[in-house]
């Protein structure tokens, strides 16, 4: 019995409007998406037939059919998979789970090819059918259920679900093609698309059609204007290799085979940056095929990111949603793990504790990092990779102690000696002068500000390179690394760094500047931890640093954001360093007016705080002080 029409969720309406009116540059992807969905449906049924008591020993027919009818101007994609019930139809076709559409809509660029390429990546591939179809019917029956349903929509913002009769489980997606999509109702066109995108789908794909043959007429019949008899015969042809790519020996595969397989599993048109295909034999038998993408997935920094890996046991699909198969910092990697030594009924809990998978994970991480290392040989290509994935690799430095040395060779940093690009620690070390004993870095939240920080003046004067760390995670990550190949890594934001530059000079100027240091210290009181004269400054009158054992400003902000308690009483006071040779300092040394001394001293602190990205607690007082000093200057 037919049910009342239901409306799509608002975001689906937006998506459909975009699909129909904007994303027309790559219409053929609709077939890739439907075949991928059909393959997943068969995978899931195979797994449940081995693990679910209700479906135990269920006869799974591992086939996908594509029918086309030129007269009807229609295409159907038919699978023998798990199927859907009424709730599934509403959940999967009437709305979109995991806020996929929100992410999709926010990522649109206006470039039709790029935007259409996003459809599959955001898990909304089914809706690509409306690029070619004026009306779509989904006829489906869930395995183990008695009822079957038909879902119908013409993308007008509504859909209808009707209970029907269907003998076998699985799903039929029937599409009545638009006039401008008739090209797809063609045998050679469909074969080309399947070969391009779905040749290595591990199930047989058959193309069903009516083959027309026309009888030969004799010359006499032709003269008599007799019509030739047309015979229509149903044909069914296997049109894919139906071999899981990862099970084929590497020597029998071409780069193009890997590229097309990657496009299929990534739902995109980009080729992978690199890949590594491994077959392990011995105590544990398994095959892995990992792809390193060129571009970051949309959910790279989301807690509910979708794993890019599928786990199989002897080609039987187990899961594509296990985040334990690789460490989280490699969540951008896509591919397959197929193990012969796991039980088919392995549960999620067992997976997380399984020693076999732990060994595979350990070996896989080393393989992936080794492959990324190979990419570093092409500096231009690797710089593009770093723009997308530098941050996850840095997360690895904090998470994965066992592979820290390998990761230290892969992460890259901005640098005072590189304007537009990145520097490796190895390159930094190679360029170090013989007198330099440490690797230096500066931490903050704004690259432009950091590049002009007063803290760098003496380093620039001595031609010493400083790494620029402007990512919010950098401080936490870099402080977890003491050394790189026995070379200390030090922050210029701390007090002891100036001693590296010229400790004897610091001792000398501090002694000579005792008077002005005391004058400023008395004016600032408890607002600073200390005031010191420093040789690190040349052009600026002051800067702030933190004591060697105190967290930097960036670390303080992160700790607060994470709700963590600050050390001691919760207040980390800065240390003000002054340049005793600067005109402002020498003139302040001669000043006698108490208000002027306090105003200038506080302005020296406040301007240094602003440079470090700190917020002033009392902006009103700052403005009042600044106005008094300006007024006195103009008097």
Cα–Cα distances (Å) from 393 to 161, 291, 330, in that order, read 47, 16, 8
Same domain as 210, residue 299: no
Would you tell me how many other CB atoms lie within 10 Å of the CB of residue 566?
A: 14
Cα–Cα distances (Å) from 536 to 460, 461, 516, in that order, read 10, 9, 17
The Cα 126–Cα 302 span in angstroms is 23
Q: In 3D, which of 280, 428, 436 has the Cα closest to residue 367?
A: 280
Same domain as 39, residue 175: yes
pLDDT of res. 53: 86
* Domain span at 533: 513-544+569-634
Coil, strand, or helix at residue 548? coil
pLDDT of res. 346: 58
pLDDT of res. 329: 96
Same domain as 197, residue 116: yes
Same domain as 233, residue 256: no
Coil, strand, or helix at residue 440? strand
Q: What is the pLDDT of residues 163-217, one digit of tens each?
A: 999 999 999 999 999 999 999 999 999 999 998 888 888 899 999 988 877 777 7
| Weakly modelled stretches of the chain, pLDDT under 50 | 1, 24, 96-101, 112-114, 116, 120-123, 569
The Cα 249–Cα 427 span in angstroms is 38
- Asked if residues 169 and 151 have their Cβ atoms less than 8 Å apart, the reply is no
Residue 460 forms part of a structural domain: no
Structural domain ending residue among the three candidates 365, 380, 395: 380
- Asked if residues 341 and 285 have their Cβ atoms less than 8 Å apart, the reply is yes
The CATH number of residue 122's host domain is 3.30.565.10
Quickly list H helices, 141-254. 187-197, 219-223
Q: In 3D, which of 2, 92, 4 has the Cα closest to residue 41?
A: 92
Structural domain ending residue among the three candidates 380, 408, 424: 380
Same domain as 55, residue 101: yes
Same domain as 142, residue 16: yes
Same domain as 199, residue 283: no
pLDDT of res. 75: 97
Same domain as 129, residue 63: yes
Same domain as 100, residue 28: yes
Residue 351 forms part of a structural domain: yes
Same domain as 190, residue 272: no
DSSP string, 57-109: T-----EEEEEEETTTTEEEEEE-S----HHHHHHHHSS-GGGHHHHHHHH--
Residue 399 forms part of a structural domain: no
Same domain as 196, residue 265: no
Same domain as 272, residue 175: no
Structural domain ending residue among the three candidates 318, 350, 380: 380
What is the count of structural domains for the chain? 3
Q: What is the pLDDT of residues 252-265, one digit of tens each?
A: 999 999 998 998 88
pLDDT of res. 98: 40
Q: Which residues contact residue 365 at a Cβ distance below 8 angstroms, ignoring those fewer than 6 apart?
A: 326, 327, 330, 400, 403
pLDDT of res. 606: 93
Residue 257 forms part of a structural domain: yes
Q: Which residues contact residue 9 at a Cβ distance below 8 angstroms, ignoring those fewer than 6 apart?
A: 94, 95, 96
């Amino acid at each position: 019995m037919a049910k009342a029409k239901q409306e799509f969720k608002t975001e689906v309406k937006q998506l459909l409007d975009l699909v129909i009116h904007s994303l027309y540059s790559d219409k053929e992807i609709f077939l890739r998406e439907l075949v991928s969905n059909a393959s997943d449906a068969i995978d899931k049924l195979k797994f449940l037939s081995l693990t679910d008591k209700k479906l135990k020993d269920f006869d799974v027919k591992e086939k996908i059919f594509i029918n086309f009818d030129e007269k009807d101007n229609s295409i159907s994609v038919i699978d023998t998979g798990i199927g859907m019930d009424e709730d599934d139809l509403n959940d999967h076709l009437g709305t979109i789970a995991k806020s996929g559409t929100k992410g999709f809509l926010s990522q649109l660029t206006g470039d039709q090819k790029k935007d259409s390429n996003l459809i599959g990546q955001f898990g909304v591939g089914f809706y690509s059918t409306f690029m070619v179809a004026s009306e779509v019917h989904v006829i489906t029956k869930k395995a183990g259920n008695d009822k079957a349903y038909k879902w119908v929509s013409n993308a007008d913002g509504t859909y209808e679900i009707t209970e029907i009769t269907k003998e076998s489980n699985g799903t039929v997606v029937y599409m009545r093609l638009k006039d401008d999509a008739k090209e797809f109702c063609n045998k050679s066109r469909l074969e080309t698309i399947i070969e391009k995108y779905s040749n290595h789908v591990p199930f047989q794909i058959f193309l069903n059609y009516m083959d027309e043959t026309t009888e030969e007429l004799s010359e006499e019949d032709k003269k008599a204007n007799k019509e030739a008899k047309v015979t229509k015969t149903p044909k069914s042809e296997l049109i894919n290799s139906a071999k899981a790519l990862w099970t084929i020996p590497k020597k029998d595969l071409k780069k193009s085979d890997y590229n097309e397989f990657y496009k299929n599993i990534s739902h995109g048109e980009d080729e992978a940056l690199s890949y590594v295909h491994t077959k392990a034999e011995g105590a544990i038998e398994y095959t892995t095929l990992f792809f390193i993408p060129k571009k970051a997935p949309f959910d790279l920094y989301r807690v509910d990111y979708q794993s890019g890996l599928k786990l199989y046991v002897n080609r039987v699909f187990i899961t594509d949603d296990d985040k334990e198969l690789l460490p989280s910092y490699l969540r951008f990697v896509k591919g397959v793990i197929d193990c012969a030594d796991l039980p088919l009924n392995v549960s999620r809990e067992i997976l997380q504790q399984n020693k076999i998978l732990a060994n595979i994970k350990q070996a896989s991480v080393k393989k992936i990092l080794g492959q990324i290392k190979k990419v570093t040989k092409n500096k231009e290509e690797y710089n593009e990779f770093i723009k997308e994935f530098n941050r996850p690799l840095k997360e690895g430095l904090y998470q994965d102690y066992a592979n820290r040395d390998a990761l230290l060779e892969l992460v890259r940093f901005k640098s005072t000696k590189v304007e537009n690009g990145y520097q490796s620690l190895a390159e930094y070390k190679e360029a170090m002068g013989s007198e330099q004993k440490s690797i230096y870095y500066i931490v903050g939240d704004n690259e432009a500000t950091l590049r002009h920080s007063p803290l760098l003046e003496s380093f620039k004067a001595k031609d010493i390179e400083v790494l620029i760390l402007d990512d919010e995670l950098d401080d936490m990550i870099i402080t977890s690394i003491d050394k790189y190949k026995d070379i200390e890594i030090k922050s210029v934001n701390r007090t002891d760094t100036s001693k590296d530059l010229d400790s004897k000079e610091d001792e000398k100027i501090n002694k000579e500047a005792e008077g002005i240091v005391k004058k400023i210290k008395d004016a600032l009181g408890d607002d600073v931890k200390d005031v010191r004269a420093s040789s690190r400054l040349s052009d600026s009158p002051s800067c702030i640093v933190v004591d060697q054992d105190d967290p930097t400003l960036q670390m303080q902000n992160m700790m607060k954001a994470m709700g963590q308690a600050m050390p001691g009483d919760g207040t980390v006071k800065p240390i003000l360093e002054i340049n005793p040779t600067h005109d402002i300092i020498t003139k302040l040394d001669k000043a006698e007016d108490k208000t002027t001394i306090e105003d200038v001293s506080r302005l020296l602190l406040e301007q240094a705080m602003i440079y470090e990205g700190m917020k002033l607690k009392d902006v009103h007082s700052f403005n009042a002080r600044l106005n008094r000093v300006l007024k006195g200057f103009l008097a």
